[in-house]
Chains A and B, each alone.
Chain A
Amino acid sequence: MDLSQYAELFLAESREHLSACNQLLLEWERHPAGLTPVSGLFRAVHTVKGMAATMGYARVTDLAHRMENLLDVQRRGAHPATDELLQLLFRARDALERAVELSVVGRERELDVAAIVADLEQAAARMAPARPGERPVPSPEPTEPEPEAAGRLVQVTLRPEAPLKGGRAVLVLKRAQALGAVHAVTPPVTAFEADEFDGRFSFRLDATAAAEQIEAALKAAGDVAHVTVGGAEAGGPAPEPGATPGDAGAVGGGPSRHIRVDLRRLDGLMDLIGELITVRGRLNQLAAERRDPAVDDVAIQVSRLSSDLQAEILQARMTPVWQVFDRFPRLVRDVARELGKQVAFRVEGKEIELDRAILDELGDPLMHLLRNAVDHGIEPPAERRRRGKPPEGEVVLTAQRERASVTITVADDGRGVDRRKILERAQREGVVDAHADALTDEQLLRVLARPGFSTAEAVTSVSGRGVGIDVAMTRIRALGGTIEIRSELGKGTTFVLRLPVTLAIVRAIMASVGPERYALPLTYVAETVEFGAVTTTMVEGREAIVLRDHVVPLVHLRRLLGVTSDRAPARAPIIVLELGDRRAGVVVDGMLGQQEIVVKGFDAPQGTLPVFSGATIMGDGVPALILDAAGLV
């Protein structure tokens, strides 16, 4: 049968089990004496093994099999986990993960599992109780049954290729019991459970049926090569089993099941609904021009239907954050271990949902922030004790739903940021005014987010050079989100990420600049004013307007974007953007109205100004870039 169609399912499900393995191993590591995680681990590995065997992925199967074996030995012996065992299992899990990923893309051969397989075997051998002698192997020639037992002697030989011969033998015995009393089973039934059982056995059957009947009945148990009844060989080839069931009724149907949908399908649907919404905009425009009630009617219906459809698809894309968060406990543990720190890691709000595309993008920034928290935030145990803190630090990752956004926080109870130190450095590098005597949270973040800015005394291998906040910040902004920092010296640091729940569709103001069009998401638009209707002034060398006692610096898009064609209008509109307590007035040529836009990513070529968060496709099918408020204010 064609197995390729199952490969994606195999991958998705194996990943889930491997992720579960991580959680279980971590739990086990925290409570080494407990055995509860072992059965979960056993089950997960066992499932992966079964699937891999079905797919024909030999290395995955082999590796999973060895792990399963080791876990089984461990479980039976009820040994508490040693650190060595846990490290081996972590390593084996990682190898299994690689094996799974490589197998699916047909590169299984690249993986060398010999070393880890050997380690697993050794560990299992060490742990297994010295085999209590050789188990009394059942006599292979059951030729001497008790002569005094009643009934005819029946000898059965199973097909050599039959799997799990013991199970088959029991089925044969059951069929025999349906005919009459069965005695003197040789070897005894307990021997059927041994792997060494070779498929030859005999018994006495006290039944009136004819030899042919007995033979046929027993052969119907399947995988039977020969049956001899009453000493007379009544063999011959087993009857050909019917290959297909008789009635070919309706296929499938019936029960509702959850199905897995490939993300690309969802993206494809999203693209289509995006185009539909674009066309809907065009239809509404035409309807407005026509002033025909019938056309209006249709346009309204199309609007409603496409909105419903859009909502459904957006809902289908919603994914609980645990799908990404679940890999973090392991990450935090590994980092803490490497750095010799003690960290308790908690995750809250696992069930909160986000658009799958946003969630996928969130993994890396969160990884950066968590590494940072352990590396730069949490102090080594000795230092914590000196400061009167418990030696074990705490890192908490929380997801929370707030109206149209999701807030994700990464909080540590570590040393916090030393603002004085950073202020000095920031002044030296000219990042802030030389006269500034304190850094606000916001300034602090801006300083920390400068590429390569690091205050770590030692550059560690964990976070590398620079804190990586710049990377995290860029990603979060590209998703239309914001990031904030709160930090108190000696008490800890918290990063607050605010993200839209769905990425795909936002309301935006369309603005023209020369012959070009740009979209500005409405989320950050505070108001619009007309250039010339307000007085401009110069503040700290920058052109600004004063709005209700607030100084709002101006950004001329023409200049910023290098639009040179024709002249700027005399009374240009200013779109005031607001992001936290920062503002900017964006001067454009004209406003083209509001509309819903579908946000799409694009591969920005080198040198692209860092003021775009994506692009969208307009009603006429031509792309327009989306301006990023965070890049402008």
Chain B
Amino acid sequence: MSHTVLVCDDAIFMRTMISDILAQAGFEIVGEAETGSQAVEKYKQLRPDLVTMDIVMPDMGGIDAVREIVKHDPDAKILMCSAMGQQALVVEAIQAGAKDFVVKPFQPSRVLEAVQRVLG
């Protein structure tokens, strides 16, 4: 069984790229979300092994989505996708329950390292 992943980002570009990186490494992308509230909804519905979560999204941001998801499932494994200069937001996300983070621009090897750490 390969691990299932829910990819959350408001940019199709980013979703495509993350999905490609993970799919090539053998993960199964079971869903995508483009807003925070979609992410929460799809998490409940799909129960993926891993969530990749963008921080800046419309509707509900990534950090609030992390809070919601963790409230629902304290063991949720969420990997934040952040940009340079978002130090404070990343800290906030981790305190909210995210397990790790990667920084754009993504290097596939770094993404996969982080995923390994999250899945422990």
Contact = CB atoms under 8 A, between A and B. Distances in A.
Interface string A211-253: 0000000001110000000000000000001111101111111
A250 B3 contact: no
Given A253-B28, A254-B29, A6 B16 contact: yes
Contacts of A47: 10-11, 14, 56
B104 A221 contact: no
A553 to B, nearest CB: 55
Nearest to B101: A167
A340 to B, nearest CB: 36
B26 A53 contact: no
A112 B30 CA distance: 43
Nearest to A189: B91
Given A167-B101, A220-B117, A251 B23 contact: yes
B94 A174 contact: yes
A166 B104 contact: no
Given A163-B103, A167-B94, A222-B117, A192 B25 contact: no
Contacts, number: 146
A364 B116 CA distance: 52
A6 B82 contact: no
B58 A43 contact: yes
Given A244-B26, A250-B2, A167 B32 contact: no
A251 B116 contact: no
Interface in A291-320: none
A247 B1 contact: yes
A72 to B, nearest CB: 9
Contact of A193 (B56, B88, B117): B88
Contacts of A241: 113, 116-117
B59 to A, nearest CB: 10
B55 to A, nearest CB: 9
Given A243-B113, A249-B28, A251-B26, A195 B87 contact: yes
A50 B105 CA distance: 7
B84 A164 contact: yes
A9 B26 contact: no
A13 interface: yes
Nearest to B119: A245
Given A166-B87, A192-B87, A197-B87, A243 B14 contact: no
A56 interface: yes
Contacts of A564: none
B26 A167 contact: no
B90 A167 contact: yes
Contact of A167 (B27, B56, B82, B119): B82
A405 to B, nearest CB: 32
A321 B96 CA distance: 42
Contact of A250 (B21, B25, B28, B32): B28
A1 interface: yes
B41 to A, nearest CB: 14
A189 B95 CA distance: 11
Contacts of A605: none
Given A47-B11, A251-B24, A54 B104 contact: yes
B12 A166 contact: no
Contacts of A522: none
B92 to A, nearest CB: 8
A194 interface: yes
A43 B113 contact: no
Interface string A156-170: 000000011111001
Nearest to A61: B105
A193 B93 CA distance: 12
A166 to B, nearest CB: 5
B112 A243 contact: yes
Contacts of B117: 220-222, 241
Nearest to B27: A245
Contacts of B86: 164
Given A9-B16, A40-B58, A170 B91 contact: yes
Interface in B70-120: 82-88, 90-91, 93-95, 99-101, 103-106, 108-109, 112-117, 119-120
Contact of A164 (B25, B101, B108, B112): B101
B17 to A, nearest CB: 6
A260 B31 CA distance: 17
A200 B114 CA distance: 21
Contacts of A245: 2-3, 25-27, 112, 115-116, 119
B100 A222 contact: yes
A194 B87 CA distance: 7
A292 to B, nearest CB: 51
Nearest to A39: B58
A252 B116 contact: no
Nearest to B21: A1
Given A222-B113, A245-B3, A43 B10 contact: yes
A157 B57 CA distance: 32
A53 B90 contact: no
B2 A164 contact: no
Interface in B14-45: 14, 16-17, 19, 21, 23-32
B104 A50 contact: yes
Given A50-B104, A247-B1, A164 B82 contact: yes
A254 B30 contact: yes
B84 A163 contact: yes
Given A244-B26, A250-B2, 5 more contacts: A43-B58, A54-B14, A222-B114, A241-B116, A245-B26
Interface of A: 1, 6, 9-10, 13, 40, 42-43, 46-47, 49-51, 53-56, 65, 163-167, 170-171, 174, 189, 192-195, 197, 220-222, 241-245, 247-255, 257, 260
Closest 8 CB pairs of A and B: A249-B2, A167-B90, A248-B26, A54-B105, A193-B88, A163-B103, A53-B105, A241-B113
25 contacts: A9-B12, A40-B58, A43-B57, A47-B10, A47-B56, A50-B83, A51-B14, A54-B13, A54-B14, A54-B17, A164-B86, A166-B90, A167-B90, A167-B101, A171-B99, A193-B87, A193-B88, A195-B85, A220-B117, A241-B116, A249-B27, A250-B2, A251-B24, A252-B23, A252-B28
